[in-house]
Amino acid sequence: MDNAEAKTGKSRQIDDAMITQAIEMIAASPFAKRDPGPNIVNLLRHWHARHRIRYAPPLIDSNERGTCINTDDSKEITVNEEYRGNLKVTVPTLVHEGTHATWRHKFSSDREAALCRAGEDEYLAQVNEVTVYKWLRDEKGYPKDFELELRLKRFEEGTLRAIVMANITGKDDPHCPVGSPVHKQPQ
């Protein structure tokens, strides 16, 4: 094994340890004690044990914090490599992407219905993400995160769902049924 291979192997071990620590923090949070927390923690543990969670360059947008691919052919969660070693971002990102992995709907031939489902999926991912973020900030003393503070503010004001749905569907009032089980204040 040459020096570059040893360095890459050591980096993977450090990344794996960081992701393990992030998952165990999620498991210890109040979020993990109620739906959908336990399912998300189980999925994260399962995928991590199969090397399906890693730090990597963003796929689409350099500002994205993470991605989730959950198809019959491929299952993977990535956290933007710029956040390697940053639990303040890694923990909420894993919750967000883990929500997508557990809540994805099959694609529909009805474009509007598919957009509504995608909007509900993103809304639930953001609600779960800010729930864990609020715990990290308030109970664990983690510093504020501008993007998550904005999402939390919108959730508390009752505007988050409408904003997410408009961004996904392209309509201010897409007439989507409220399909998400989450409508309460993050605890």
Q: Is 54 left (phi over 0), alpha (psi -120 to 50) or beta?
A: beta
Evaluate whether residue 112 is within a structural domain.
no
Evaluate whether residue 54 is within a structural domain.
yes
State how many domains the chain has: 1
Evaluate whether residue 109 is within a structural domain.
no
Evaluate whether residue 72 is within a structural domain.
yes
Whole-structure pTM value: 0.87
The range of the structural domain enclosing residue 29 comes to: 3-85
Evaluate whether residue 105 is within a structural domain.
no
Evaluate whether residue 126 is within a structural domain.
no
Evaluate whether residue 61 is within a structural domain.
yes
Edge-to-edge order in the sheet of strand 75-80: 53-56, 75-80, 66-70
Q: Could you list the pLDDT tens digit for every one of the 187 residues in the chain?
A: 555 444 567 788 999 999 999 999 999 999 999 999 999 999 999 999 999 999 999 888 888 999 998 887 889 999 999 999 999 999 999 999 999 998 765 555 677 777 888 888 999 999 999 999 999 999 999 999 999 999 999 999 999 999 998 898 887 766 676 554 443 434 4
Evaluate whether residue 97 is within a structural domain.
no
- Reading the block at residue 164, the tokens are 């997410």
Query: Using a CB cutoff of 8 Å and minimum separation of 24, what contacts does 71-75 make?
Result: 75/47, 75/101
